[in-house]
Amino acid sequence: MVHGDGALFRKGYAKAAKQEEIDEPPVHTNLLLVTTESTPFSPPGDEGIQRVANAIVSGTVSLTSLSLVEAGMGEHGALALAAALPSRPSLTRLDLTGNRDMGATGGAALAAAVLTPGRSSLLQSLSLYDTRLGLVGIQAIAKALRKNRSLLHLDACSNRLGVEGAQCLAEALNDPNDDVGAYEDKIGLAQRMHAPEPEDLLDINWTLENLELGNNQLGNAGGIAFASVLKHSRHLRALSLYSNGIGSPGAKELCSALGRDDASLRSLDLQDNPLGERGARDVGIMLRKNASLTSLVISGRHIGEGGVTALSFALSESNRTLARLDLSSWLPRAGDSHLLEDQRPRKFGERGGMALGDVLANNSGLQHLNLEGNALGDAGARKMLEGLRKHRGTLLTLSGLTDGQELSPQGQAEVEAALEKYLGLRPRSGAEP
């Protein structure tokens, strides 16, 4: 499998069966429209979206969730939907994944409709994955986010945002003067004094918890922009920056922000970024200090033997809070190859296997480890198995140890037997949930 092939698979939008519930909208609290490869159907396009918009306006029930995945919505359909949605302030989830023709104008109108306070002010989750927002669309979202206090999750992956788009969004989330902290202190004081809460005059978003910006050509400058956000944020819990061409300079700044005592981020996805061994060393240094991160995703193919050794040293010696480590290696999409500084696959080998074995032997906190596609070889796999035999922690899944590891038939058999004996598992593919 090639990482990145099939955007819907990468984001988990593949559905088991076609579902349509738009014929009688007044009797449904959820409108759902999805498409799959196994059960294709013609997307409704702008004309169908207009009917959905009319149904939203005329409906008599409280609409809480609207999914229009790959619905063929263009700019006109997006504008119609934007005009209709403010009539349903009860909407909490909106998924517009894969509507590539709505463009920046449609995206900007929808952002204003669902994120501006006083309109659909209860929206908690918004997916604009692969909708080609571009710079103009993300600027509108950033502007609306500054005053929004309801949105918890934003997915803007695969939208060609670029460095300028990343910086624009980062500015809407950044709080270098800790204005949010001062405001929260005032709220706490008002509550203790049984006085009215102070008016929220902040021009910055301080409620977003989960931000996904993968595959947006952010580069090191974009990574550095979000490092500044992480340095000051009290509320962001998950950040996904996969496939953005972030190298060691961007990784260094991100790790510096996460190495602070007051870091609050719990999940970081840097999959398919060319961090190199130097970037991996910075991640290792960060893990020695960080006490908040519980999930970390990094491409093993970019850090190689030296990088995984640096990571493993931190996890063996000090860090016990990281519960999930994904080092699976996928090849980049052909269209993204220009983002990668180094196309050479780097193998973990025997030394990397020995380092990972030390993690398994000494780390009692790690629960999920994915190593798919990292060419451990027989020697590296055996070193890992030595660590597995000594493991006394809470490891629940060890994925990909038989996939893409360049094992001989004998090595494959040894790994399969050890997984079953020590973890009670069948050989687990890294692609399995």
β-bridge mates for residue 136, sequence order: none
pLDDT of 234 > 60? The answer is: yes
Q: If you average pLDDT over residues 190-201, what whole number do you get? A: 81
Sequence spans of domains, the chain: 30-39+63-69+87-175+204-332+340-423
Strand order across the beta sheet in which 30-33 lies: 30-33, 65-68, 93-95, 125-127, 153-155, 210-212, 238-240, 267-270, 295-298, 324-326, 368-370, 397-399
What's the CA gap between 148 and 335, in Å, rounded?
A: 35
Nearest to 327 by CA among 375, 271, 405, 379: 271
Asked if residue 22 has pLDDT above 50, the reply is no
pLDDT band at 5 (very low <50, low <70, confident <90, very high): very low
Phi, psi of 147 (to 5 degrees): -105, -5
Q: pLDDT averaged over the chain?
A: 83
Query: What pLDDT is attached to residue 10?
Result: 36
Lowest-confidence segment of 184-193, 209-218, 336-345, 399-408 by average pLDDT: 336-345
| pLDDT (mean) for 129-150 | 93
**What's the CA angle centered on 238, arms 232 and 239, to 5 degrees?**
80
The domain over range 30-39+63-69+87-175+204-332+340-423 is classified in CATH as 3.30.565.10: no
Q: Which residue has the higher pLDDT, 189 or 214?
A: 214
One-letter amino acid identity for 160? R
pLDDT of the residue at 381: 92
Percent of the chain with pLDDT over 70: 83
Per residue in 172-182, pLDDT tens? 999 888 888 88
Higher pLDDT, 336 or 183: 183
Out of 8-22, 92-106, 213-227, 413-427, pick the least confident: 8-22
How do residues 32-82 score in pLDDT, each as one tens digit?
A: 544 444 444 567 899 999 999 998 888 766 789 999 999 999 999 999 999
User: How confident is the model over 395-424, as a mean pLDDT?
Assistant: 89
At position 28, the amino acid (one-letter code) is H
Is 324 within 8 Å of 296 (Cβ atoms)? yes
Q: What are phi and psi of 316, to 5 degrees?
A: -80, -35
Distance CA 376, CA 349 (A): 4
The pLDDT of residue 24 is above 90: no
- CA–CA gap between residue 25 and residue 34 (Å, rounded): 16
- Kindly give, in sequence order, each residue whose CB lies less than 8 Å from that of residue 194, ignoring residues fewer than 6 positions away: none
pLDDT tens digits, residue range 240-270? 999 999 999 999 999 999 999 889 999 999 9
At 27, the pLDDT band (50, 70, 90 cuts) reads very low
For residue 414 the two structure tokens come to 């040894």
